[in-house]
Amino acid sequence: MCPEQIRDHARETTMSEHDEPATYDVRAAQDKWLPVWDRLQPFRADDDSPREKKYALTMFPYPSGDLHMGHAEVTALHDVIARYWWQRGYEVLNPMGWDSFGLPAENAAIRNDEHPATYTYANIETQYESFRRYGISFDWSRRLHTSDPEYYRWTQWLFLKFRERGLAYRKNSPVNWCPNDQTVLANEQVVDGRCERCGAEVTKRELTQWYFKITEYAQELLDELDNLEATWPARVVAAQRNWIGRSEGAHVSFAIDGRDEPVTVYTTRPDTIFGTTFMVIAVDSALADDLVTDAQRPAFEAYREEIRKETEMERLSTDRPKTGVDLGVTATNPVTAEQIPVWATDYVLADYGTGAVMGVPGGDQRDWEFATEFGLPIVRTTQTPDDWEGEAFHGEGPAINSPAPGAAAPLDINGLGVADAKRATIDFLEQRGSGTGAVNFRLRDWLLSRQRYWGVPIPVIHCAKDGEVAVPYDQLPLELPELRGADLKPKGVSPLAAAEDWVNVECPTCGGPATRDSDTMDTFVDSSWYFLRFCSPGYTDGPFDVAKANAWMAADIYVGGVEHAVLHLLYARFFTKVLRDMGMLEVGEPFAAQLNQGFVINQGKKMSKSLGNGVNLGDQLAEFGVDAVRLTLVFAGPPEDDIDWADMSPAGSLRFLQRAWRLSGDVTSAVGTSPEGGDVALRRVTARTVHDAAELVEAYRFNVVIARVMELVNATRKAIDSGSGPADPAVREAAEAVAVLLSLVAPYTAEEMWERLGHQPTVARAGWPAVDPALLVEESVVAVVQIQGKVRARLEVSPDISEADLEQLALADADVVRAIDGREVRKVIVRAPKLVNVVV
């Protein structure tokens, strides 16, 4: 298609014979209503409103370039809910801001030899203008940016408060390192051994870093998911449960030959302890280093060196042979008193449990492979099923060899099922003082230090004499030094460390020479509390006004991408719980309900530059207008499903909007005319549509709402053209309902309709149409008569017909009599007023 042939749908205005425009000018409408809305400020949330409050939250974006299809989809869906609440008479808080710290700005700054703020704030302005034209009902007076000093001042304040409570601490440990971005990564940011952001293979480094003690809240974070199950997407709840990864088992102490301290292992299967034929320790743990004998040290260190060179990718591949080194010491099985060898290996993780595991090859496949590799004995402790052909068996079955036949042991669990055997073993260990029941979590503490510039400086000073010293609260915000371009190039240490004027300071305690912490915070810290700041964005006496936060929180809906299922959502939940424990919040969960939108894809594939299948939002908006694009995204299907743009028809959406708009021009009755006495059939459709639309919006079934509005438009069109005519007050009632319902998704079209119907702006605050309950009851319904489940007749009956009357009527019907054909009626099921089923 050559460019001249591309039709300009949005601008097109055709005239009918009566000089009555058949379509309205989409672009002119956009230009016309934006200033009106600016003047009316219909979506400004009033903290002191007597109306019931609703908090409609959608994930704030990172300012990279202009808005794209993904932003368009999530905000269009979100806006249906926010605008619906306004129409229903709630006071709605619907704020927006930017998550404006982060790596892309820093990389752009290096590329262009400029300050990251230049890129950041230019993009924010671009996105802000696009959002405005896109007509989302945001309260712009509450706009915030996490990179503003007046915002990150409070991020630093919260960090210091967390630190005072022992929830922010430094420790030295092997951490995930992205060699490309030259910074550490949280566990959550490593996906399949690669950096979530850039895809580089992640390696390990031994570093001293800041952590948030999220593990202290692991149990509560898990427990509260039960209460969120009804209102959060199942996949998010499942993902968080998986990530927290609670397991129940026992700590068991093994005495070590020639060492005072025993070694404690964590196991989920204490009942298999009789099958423990060796012990394995994480090779990269301090414990392994401590246990190894002088004779074995050279072999151990060589092995450890070999392992350190591996990337995460290599370590995670499960199909390679097991490796390890004998540490040269022996441990004593506390139940059998047997001496077993102690090995170091890389298949045991240093930072989970105790970093040491009892090797039970009969019950654990990894141990089986290790035992096979090194010729260690294998003892089964659970009876395998008759048809078992596998190796290690971890299923249900009676305990065997516990103890082995003929062997003497102070404990005997033979014959017990797994659960009973576990309990008996733990009881025994507890009595002996060599073990205890224990719970473990997969969740690790949250590594928050980043060796980059464009983030929140960690407000701590390191002094040779006083150690870690907090920057005094009255010196916050601790602002970033002015660095740009080449200063920001990744060097493996934070660029802040090289800013000598900034990093060298006097110790606040002793006045001696000291240095600032040169790392910045993970940007997930910024987004863990922004929804609280929105409740009082200008507040200067704390991160937020406690009374206002308590008035608005929790958010009644949080709309956003499922890619944040564990990261952001888990961190935000953690922050909320800590703030509650600090007495600053009443709620312990930030998001009462949640909705995840799907992706916008094209031709069955994710949009990408390399595939060349990207759909540009700006082009779509220019061609079809804001309303048609929004309508297309909302109508496409259930919100959580992916939308394939190739299957969609924004032109069809625009056609529908024009059809709807045309109704408003056809209405001839005066504004304010009572619908009483209007065509009852149409009034019923209107009432039913308005009534059902409310339920459908609340169930997030926006696509069905649109379908129902289309039906209403069709019914109204018919009434005008071939029914009661344009002067019927029922037609006005219907057209006005269409305008209000459309205001949830097509604000410009709805406003045009509302004006043409003789009303003042803005339709967005017109209020939900009143529904006469009498109109929801049908005058007559069609009852279906089935013979053997097949429909044989239809009867028009009153909706409140009795079952007996309906049965009688059905059996008397000529078609029914013919269908029964003299056979004996064995049973008649009657479901008045809809159905009769005759069984013969």
Partner RNA sequence: GCCCCGGUAGCCCAACGGCAGAGGCAGUGGUCUCAAACACCAUCCAGUGUGGGUUCGAAUCCCACCCGGGGCACCA
Taking the C-alpha atoms of residue 245 and residue 240, their distance in angstroms, rounded to an integer, is 8
Q: Where are the beta strands (DSSP E) in 145-288?
A: 168-178, 183-185, 190-191, 194-195, 203-212, 246-256, 263-267, 278-282
Q: Does 605 bind RNA (CB under 7 A)?
A: no
Q: Is 690 exposed, middle or buried (0-12, 13-18, 19+ CB in 10 A)?
A: buried
Here the tokens at position 790 are 């097949």
First to last CA, the chain: 64
Taking the C-alpha atoms of residue 699 and residue 268, their distance in angstroms, rounded to an integer, is 41
Q: Nearest approach, Cβ of 30 to RNA (angstroms)? A: 19
CB 272, CB 418: distance < 8 Å? no
- Tokens 């001249």 map to which residue? 4
Q: Nearest approach, Cβ of 534 to RNA (angstroms)? A: 28
Here the tokens at position 211 are 């952590």
Q: Does 247 bind RNA (CB under 7 A)?
A: yes
Q: Does 823 bind RNA (CB under 7 A)?
A: no
Candidates 15, 198, 337, 349; binder of RNA (CB under 7 A) is 349
Q: Is 746 exposed, middle or buried (0-12, 13-18, 19+ CB in 10 A)?
A: buried
Query: Which residues, in sequence order, are CB contacts of 338 under 8 Å at separation 6+?
Result: 332
Here the tokens at position 394 are 């971890």
* Segment interacting with RNA, rule: CB under 7 A, options 123-131, 143-151, 516-524, 709-717: 709-717
Containing 794, the helix (H) or strand (E) segment is strand 790-797
Q: Does 378 bind RNA (CB under 7 A)?
A: no
* Segment interacting with RNA, rule: CB under 7 A, options 86-94, 156-164, 489-497, 697-705: 697-705
Candidates 140, 352, 374, 539; binder of RNA (CB under 7 A) is 352
Q: Does 616 bind RNA (CB under 7 A)?
A: no
Candidates 293, 603, 674, 714; binder of RNA (CB under 7 A) is 714
Containing 521, the helix (H) or strand (E) segment is strand 520-521
Q: How many residues contact RNA, by CB under 7 A? A: 82
Candidates 791, 804, 812, 825; binder of RNA (CB under 7 A) is 791
* Segment interacting with RNA, rule: CB under 7 A, options 106-114, 232-240, 587-595, 771-779: 232-240
Q: Nearest approach, Cβ of 539 to RNA (angstroms)? A: 36
Taking the C-alpha atoms of residue 142 and residue 263, their distance in angstroms, rounded to an integer, is 56
* Segment interacting with RNA, rule: CB under 7 A, options 131-139, 636-644, 727-735, 745-753: 636-644
Candidates 153, 204, 366, 573; binder of RNA (CB under 7 A) is 366
Quick one: which of 153, 152, 147, 155 has its CA closest to 118? 147
Q: Does 820 bind RNA (CB under 7 A)?
A: no
250 versus 525: smaller Cβ distance to RNA: 250
Q: Nearest approach, Cβ of 674 to RNA (angstroms)? A: 28
Q: Nearest approach, Cβ of 121 to RNA (angstroms)? A: 32
Q: Nearest approach, Cβ of 317 to RNA (angstroms)? A: 7
Q: Nearest approach, Cβ of 641 to RNA (angstroms)? A: 4
CB atoms within 10 A of CB 35: 9
Candidates 418, 514, 546, 706; binder of RNA (CB under 7 A) is 706
Query: Which residues, in sequence order, are CB contacts of 645 under 8 Å at separation 6+?
Result: 69, 600, 601, 602, 615
Q: Give yes or no for a cis peptide into 812 (omega within 30° of 0).
A: no
Question: Dihedral of the CA atoms 214, 220, 226, 227 (nearest 10)?
Answer: -100
Taking the C-alpha atoms of residue 569 and residue 236, their distance in angstroms, rounded to an integer, is 9
Here the tokens at position 615 are 């759909």
Q: DSSP for 615-657?
A: --HHHHHHHH-HHHHHHHHHHTS-TTS-EEGGG--HHHHHHHH
Q: Which of residues 265-304 bind RNA (CB under 7 A)?
A: 266-269, 282
Binding mask 467-506 for RNA (x = CB under 7 A): ----------------------------------------
SS (H, E, C) 769-793: CCCCHHHHCCCCEEEEEEECCEEEE
Q: Which of residues 501-560 bind RNA (CB under 7 A)?
A: none
609 versus 826: smaller Cβ distance to RNA: 826
Candidates 782, 804, 817, 825; binder of RNA (CB under 7 A) is 782
Pairing of strands 278-282, 781-787: unpaired
Q: Which of residues 65-84 bind RNA (CB under 7 A)?
A: none
Q: Does 235 bind RNA (CB under 7 A)?
A: yes
Q: Which of residues 307-336 bind RNA (CB under 7 A)?
A: 315-316, 318, 320, 322
Here the tokens at position 57 are 């939250």
DSSP type of residue 486: G
Q: Does 416 bind RNA (CB under 7 A)?
A: no
Taking the C-alpha atoms of residue 762 and residue 750, their distance in angstroms, rounded to an integer, is 9
Q: Which of residues 191-220 bind RNA (CB under 7 A)?
A: 191
Residue type at 822 in one-letter notation:
G
432 versus 442: smaller Cβ distance to RNA: 442
Candidates 51, 442, 465, 823; binder of RNA (CB under 7 A) is 442
Quick one: which of 443, 440, 445 has its CA closest to 267? 440
268 versus 414: smaller Cβ distance to RNA: 268
Q: Which of residues 640-679 bind RNA (CB under 7 A)?
A: 641-644, 647-649, 651-652, 655-656, 658-659
Q: Nearest approach, Cβ of 19 to RNA (angstroms)? A: 16
Candidates 207, 238, 681, 820; binder of RNA (CB under 7 A) is 238
Q: Nearest approach, Cβ of 723 to RNA (angstroms)? A: 12
Candidates 375, 433, 672, 789; binder of RNA (CB under 7 A) is 789
Q: Does 151 bind RNA (CB under 7 A)?
A: no
Backbone angles phi, psi at 832, to 5 degrees: -65, 145
Query: Which residues, in sequence order, are CB contacts of 230 under 8 Å at separation 6+?
Result: none
Q: Does 446 bind RNA (CB under 7 A)?
A: no
* Segment interacting with RNA, rule: CB under 7 A, options 32-40, 57-65, 81-89, 357-365: 357-365
* Segment interacting with RNA, rule: CB under 7 A, options 115-123, 199-207, 376-384, 832-840: 832-840
Q: Nearest approach, Cβ of 452 to RNA (angstroms)? A: 23
